[in-house]
Structure 1
C-alpha cells in the first residue's frame, strides 16, 4: 500500500500559490507570484533530491501537472528537475475523462479525486508525492488520505493568496524531522496522526 506525501512550499501565513514564477498562478488577482525565488540553497536541494530518490510515483492535479511539466520541459539550461520529472511515474487527477496527459510516464486518474486516489494508494507500493495541486491536496486531506506533509516554510508573510489548508480543516500532525536552510527556510516533515 502506498503512502501519500505532500511536498509544498508555503509562506509563514500558509500561502502556497505561485511560489515559482510571477506568471505561475495569477488566479484571483494574485500578484506575489515567484515569492519562493531566491531561497534555494544546498540544504534544500539535498533534501528535495533525497525525497525524489524514495518517491515511487508523483501525483498531480491537472492544472499543476500541465504547468509544472510544461515549464520544466521547456527550460533549456541544465537543471536537476527536468529529467527527474519526465522519467518519474506520474498520475494526473482530472474530473474530465477526455484529459490527455501530455508528458511521458503519465497516467490519467479520471473522476473524483478521493475515489481515484484511494484506489491508486492501494495499488502503488511506496511513497506517492504530491507537489503543488492545492485543490487536490485539500480534498485528500479532508478524506484522510494524506499520510505526511513536507513543508518548506519560507520566512515571509504574503497576506493574500491561496492557502494550503482551508477554513475549518483540522488535523493533528506530529513533527518527525526539521532542518533549516541557510536562507531561513524551515523544512519540516509532519506525520498525520488522525
Structure 2
C-alpha cells in the first residue's frame, strides 16, 4: 500500500513509468542478492536467516499492536520521509527498500543457487544464473503491485483489503503474528542439506 499510495494522484503515464522503475529496481537488487548468494556461498544463508528472524519479529510486533488496538502508534514518522523523494528517486528508494526483503518462499531458489555454486564452482554462468533467477523472482514479486497501480479494479480490491485491517484489527493482528512466527521459525530451522 505504501507504494500504491505514493503514486496516488499521478497521471497514468507517470504511474506506468514509476511502477516500471520500482519493479526493475527491486528485481535488480534481488538479482544482486542472488549473485551474493552464489559468490559468498553458505554465508549468505546465515544473513538471510537473520533477515527472516528480524522481519518476522517486526511482523509479530505490528501484529500485536493491531491485536491490542494500538496500531495508531505506527503512524509516527521515523527518518527521512517519502515526501522529500519525488518522481524516480522515490520509486528507486521504495524499490530498494522492498528489494531488501527476500521472502522465505525464495529459499528453494537460494538453495539451488548454493548447490550450483558448490557443484560447479563460482563461474560466470553460475553468477549470471544467480542474478537472473532471483531477479525474475523479484520482478514477479512486484507484479501484484504493478497490477494495483495500473488496473483500477485491482486497486479497488487492494483498498477493500486494506480497509479490512481497520475493521478487523484482531484478525489482521493475528494474521501478522502467525506470518511473523512462521518467518522466525523459517529463519531458525531452515537447513540446507549437502
The structure with more radius of gyration: 2
User: Do the two structures share a fold, i.e. TM-score over 0.5?
Assistant: no
Higher helix share: 2
TM-score calculated relative to the size of structure 1: 0.23
Higher strand share: 1
TM-score calculated relative to the size of structure 2: 0.23
Q: Identify which of structures 1 and 2 has the higher relative contact order when contacts are C-alpha pairs closer than 8 Å and 6+ apart.
A: 2
